[in-house]
Amino acid sequence: MSRGSGGGYDRHITIFSPEGRLFQVEYAFKAVKASGITSIGVRGKDSVCVVTQKKVPDKLLDQTSVTHLFPITKFLGLLATGMTADARTLVQQARNEAAEFRFRYGYEMPVDVLARWIADKSQVYTQHAYMRPLGVVAMILGIDDENGPRLFKCDPAGHFFGHKATSAGLKEQEAINFLEKKMKNDPAFSYDETVQTAISALQSVLQEDFKPNEIEVGVVRTDSPAFRVLSTEEIDEHLTAISERD
């Protein structure tokens, strides 16, 4: 009796398929796209900005409770693209881990350490059959004491990389193509340029102009390293600047 691929279980739990693939991990990536949201992150010279769509499916819903942007600590933000329930679990665990880190070691958890921790946890779900991978791609942003503004992206497979700019969700590939062109000559964006690049990338890829309450924007800046979600007024200013520029 041959279990595993012979028994066809390679699609149900994270064991190898005959081609050496992990179908459950690949399906998790599909789940991220199925949420229908696209997110973008851009790192500038002294700031990082993340933008995502805010789709409120029902007018009766309290808009303020619909969010994909979560502060993990005062200085670290997390943008979760994909299944909201999985995102909340991840955020809860990340908040706990960051707080314990601060308590244990006496200094704030750096961005890459948190990203590595999230990625390592995701890897465990790809290897142990009792839990499925989370259907979430997490973008983590913060200002590092030694390396300045940092943007990391962690995926269900357990990969994590630092990025100059990146995207996740439904139109991920189109957005990355757009951003590659913009970042080709290693530009050093100012804070306003960073935010406007991120927002205009999203607008271009989704081919629609946003109203301020249709997107969520989160930033960290070297001169104000606390993670902050922009208000609708500030978003409106940037949207106006973008439309005037074009």
Query: Which residues would be at the binding site for another protein (CB under 8 A)?
Result: 1-7, 9, 12-22, 43, 112, 116, 119-120, 122-124, 126-130, 152, 157-159, 161-166, 176, 179-180, 183-184
Residue 150 CB, shortest distance to another protein, in Å, is: 8
Q: Check: CB of residue 88 under 8 Å from CB of residue 81.
A: no
Using only C-alpha atoms, the chain has a radius of gyration, in whole angstroms, of 19
46's tokens: 């002294």
Cβ nearer to another protein, comparing 52 with 54: 52
Cβ nearer to another protein, comparing 55 with 159: 159
Residue 160 CB, shortest distance to another protein, in Å, is: 8
Side-chain half-sphere exposure of 37, counting CA atoms within 13 A: 27
Residue 45 CB, shortest distance to another protein, in Å, is: 14
220's tokens: 């960290």
Cβ nearer to another protein, comparing 179 with 235: 179
Residue 167 CB, shortest distance to another protein, in Å, is: 9
Hunting for tokens 């009766």 — which residue is that?
60
* Residue 186 to residues 3, 12, 157, 179, 223, Cα–Cα distance (Å): 50, 43, 28, 11, 22
Cβ nearer to another protein, comparing 183 with 242: 183
Cβ nearer to another protein, comparing 55 with 128: 128
The type of residue at 19 is: E
Residue 63 CB, shortest distance to another protein, in Å, is: 32
209's tokens: 């102009």
